[in-house]
Amino acid sequence: MIVEEALSRATRRLAEAGVETARLDARLLLASIDGMSASAVLLDPGRVLAADVESAFDRLVDRRARREPVSRILGRREFWSLDFAISLATLDPRPDSETLVEAALTQFEPEPRRRVLDLGTGTGCLLLSVLSERPKWVGLGIDIAEEAVAVARANARTLELSERAHFQTGDWDKGLVGTFDLILSNPPYIPSSEIAGLSPEVASFDPLRALDGGADGLDAYRALAPALLRLLAPQGRAVIELGKGQVAEIAGIMEAAGLRALERRQDLAGVERCLVLGHPVP
């Protein structure tokens, strides 16, 4: 079979399975196979596929037809133009979360050294993206999932940031001492009853503990509010992610705990995705 036939057949199969980006996904999967490449797939439609490439492609298309995301099949996701390994224990990082990185970078001058904390670090994508832009800053990432912490550490090594980025397993702020200039957090915020109705790519493949925010989606924010107050340096900033329509309630939870909501930021779809918090002016 030639490239074009294989792509057309896979595209039909994925479209029938409800995959919206069927042609693109078929191309990405074919290009990922050993011996293939993006240019072979795009520029050489008449190329004859070896039998082992054809059967490897069939296996990948089977997985995608069961709605496993391409990023999970490949085990990688690009975030902030960096390459992150992902695993079953980590959230698949979302482009929306880049809003937090943008907001974080505008809070301080690049120098001097700042201490950064990332609560619920997953792949480490938020912390590592910020540190990649700020060579003097150092950081700590915390996650309750030990396997996620191992993935974050591996990502720090690959990105050559392990000297400045450390990771440990923990339950939010338990056991943490000292203060931090910048605290990042993208906590789970989906109301429990809504998870089953999400797309299969999310509901069946992202870890539940990365999604489930309890009955109203806000449990983690209630836990985080006193933690942020305690751990934030006097002039520090917390930059947290929000679900759609949650900004007013979350700002209320944070202000009731004694923090001040300083700034809201929208993601590229116009959703208020990020809240910047600080201590009240004395």
Ligand X SMILES: C[S@@+](CC[C@H](N)C(=O)[O-])C[C@H]1O[C@@H](n2cnc3c(N)ncnc32)[C@H](O)[C@@H]1O
Residues at the contact surface with ligand X, assessed by CB under 6 A = 91, 93, 97, 120-123, 125-126, 142-145, 148, 171-172, 186-188, 209-210
Closer by beta carbon to ligand X, 22 or else 128: 128
Closer by beta carbon to ligand X, 38 or else 208: 208
Q: Nearest distance from residue 211's CB to ligand X, in Å?
A: 7
Are 188 and 145 contacting, i.e. CB atoms less than 8 angstroms apart? no
Q: Nearest distance from residue 277's CB to ligand X, in Å?
A: 17
Tell me the sheet residues that pair with 215: none
Closer by beta carbon to ligand X, 236 or else 243: 243
For residues 233 and 125, give the distance between their C-alpha atoms in angstroms, rounded to a whole number.
23
Closer by beta carbon to ligand X, 57 or else 172: 172
Q: Nearest distance from residue 35's CB to ligand X, in Å?
A: 32
Q: What angle do CA 179, 214, 176 make, to 5 degrees?
A: 20
Amino acid letter, 66:
R
Q: Nearest distance from residue 206's CB to ligand X, in Å?
A: 8
3-state secondary structure of 46: coil
For residues 129 and 198, give the distance between their C-alpha atoms in angstroms, rounded to a whole number.
27
Closer by beta carbon to ligand X, 22 or else 118: 118
Identify the sign of the CA torsion 158, 161, 166, 170.
Answer: negative
Closer by beta carbon to ligand X, 120 or else 139: 120
Q: Nearest distance from residue 235's CB to ligand X, in Å?
A: 24
What DSSP letter does each residue of 109-155 carry, written as one string?
Answer: -S-S--EEEEES-TTTHHHHHHHHH-TT-EEEEEES-HHHHHHHHHH
Q: Nearest distance from residue 97's CB to ligand X, in Å?
A: 4
